Amino acid sequence: MWSGQSHPDEGHRPPLEAVPVPWKSHRESPGGLAETPAGEEAQGEEGPAATQLDVSRLRSSSMEIREKGSEFLREELHKAQKELKLKDEECERLSKVREQLEQELEELTASLFEEAHKMVREANMKQAASEKQLKEARGKIDMLQAEVTALKTLVITSTPASPNRELHPQLLSSTKAGPRKGHLRHKSTSSALCPAVCPAAGHALTPDKEGKEVDATLFAEFQAWRESPTLDKTCPFLERVYREDVGPCLDFTMQELSALVRAAVEDNTLTIEPVASQTLPAVKVAAVECGRANTCALSGLVCACRHRIRLGDSESHYYISPSSRARITAVCNFFTYIRYIQQGLVRQDAEPMFWEITRLRKEMSLAKLGFFPQEA
C-alpha cells in the first residue's frame, strides 16, 4: 500500500499521524511476509491510538523533565542564595573588623601623640622647675653664707651685755651726740634711777650702763616659746610681738603692697638691693642733697630712694625710702634671729637671748617712729 506511492519530498519525514507504526505486527511476524488482510486492518485501527499514547508519554516525560529541571534549578538557586548570604555575612564581618582596626589605629595614634606631647610638656616643666630650684638654691646658699658669717660675728663679738660697736654704729653716734634738745631728764629722777643723762655734767647714757629689768610676763612667754621654737603666729610670744612691733612697723600707707611685703618677710623671700645712681629715675626736686629723687612705693613720699625691694621671684622692683628700708630691715633682723634660735644655731642662756630679742624689738619700735641710722 505504501510502496506503490511516490513521495515528492523524499528527504522529509511524513507527519506523525500519517505514519502507521506496526508495533505489534513486527513483534509477531518478524519477516513481514505472512501478514493477512485481517491483520492489516487491525493494525490500521490501532495506529492512531498508539500515536496518541506516544504523544501523551512524550508530554508526561517532558513535564517530568521540566519539573525535575525546575526543582534542580530551584535547589541550585537556593544553594547560590545561601552561599551569597554567607558571602555577605563574611563581607560584613570583615568590614566590621576593618572598621574596628581603623578605629583602634586612630585611637592608638592619638594616644601616642598625646603621650608624646605630655612627655614633652612634663620634660619642659621639670626643666623649668629644675632651673628655678637651681636659682633658688644658689640664692639660698649665698644668703646662708652671709647669714652664717653675720651670725658668727653676732654670737662671738656681740652680746646684749657687751655689744659690738663696729657692728652697731648707732651706739657710737648715741654716745657722741650728747643730750638732745627737748628730751632732758630731771636731776632727781636721773640720780635715783640710774646714771642717766645729766645736762649739767654734759655726758650721755651708754648702753652698757643702761638700767634693765626683766618683765616676768614677757620672759615667761619667751621661755615657753624657747622650749619648742616655732614660727606660728598663734603662740603667745609671737602673737604679742606681731601685735606690738611687727604689725605696726610694717603698716605703711600703701596697704596692698604692705601686705605683700609682710608676707615676703615672713616667708624669707624679700630682697633689698642698693640702687646705683644712674638707674634712678631723673626727677628734679629742690633741696635734695644726695642722689636723685624718687617716690617711695610704701609711704608715697617723695625722697631720695637709694634702695629697692623685690618680692620673691617677681621681676618687679619697688623703690623705698631710707625710713621704709630701716623698718623692713628691723623686722627682717628680728625674724632672722628667731630663725637662728629655731634652727639651734644660737647657744646661749635664756636671759641673753631674751635681751637680744628685746633689743631687736626696740629697733623695730624706733624704726616705726621714724628713727634710722644715717648712711655714709
Mean pLDDT in the chain? 75
Per-residue pLDDT band at 43 (split at 50, 70, 90): low
- Looking from the CA of 318 toward its CB, the CA atoms found within 13 Å total 22
Per-residue pLDDT band at 223 (split at 50, 70, 90): very high
Per-residue pLDDT band at 375 (split at 50, 70, 90): low
Rounded to an integer, what distance in angstroms lies between the CA atom of residue 319 and that of residue 294?
8
Q: Is residue 250 predicted with pLDDT exceeding 70?
A: yes
Burial group, residue 331, by CB count within 10 angstroms (0-12, 13-18, 19+): buried
Q: Is residue 290 predicted with pLDDT exceeding 50?
A: no
Averaged pLDDT for residues 51-56? 80
Per-residue model confidence (pLDDT) at position 105? 93
Sequential DSSP letters for 235-255? SHHHHHHIIIIIHHHT--SSH
Per-residue model confidence (pLDDT) at position 196? 35
pLDDT in tens, 115-137: 999 999 999 999 999 998 998 88
Q: Is residue 303 predicted with pLDDT exceeding 70?
A: yes
Least confident of 45-49, 74-78, 85-89: 45-49
Higher pLDDT, 19 or 357: 357
Rounded to an integer, what distance in angstroms lies between the CA atom of residue 155 and that of residue 336?
13
Report the chain's terminal Cα–Cα distance, integer Å: 169
Cell triple for 133: 630650684
Rounded to an integer, what distance in angstroms lies between the CA atom of residue 89 and that of residue 197?
114
Per-residue model confidence (pLDDT) at position 44? 55
Q: Is residue 205 predicted with pLDDT exceeding 90?
A: no
Q: Is residue 146 predicted with pLDDT exceeding 70?
A: yes
Q: Are 291 and 206 in contact (CB under 8 A)?
A: no
Q: Is residue 37 predicted with pLDDT exceeding 60?
A: no
Rounded to an integer, what distance in angstroms lies between the CA atom of residue 169 and that of residue 216?
31
Q: What percent of the chain is predicted at pLDDT more than 70?
A: 67
Q: What percent of the chain is predicted at pLDDT more than 90?
A: 43
Least confident of 179-183, 266-270, 370-374: 179-183
- Looking from the CA of 161 toward its CB, the CA atoms found within 13 Å total 6
Higher pLDDT, 173 or 152: 152
> What global pTM score does this model have?
0.45
Rounded to an integer, what distance in angstroms lies between the CA atom of residue 121 and that of residue 116?
9
Distances (CA, A) of 168 to 34, 207, 261, 270: 173, 11, 25, 23
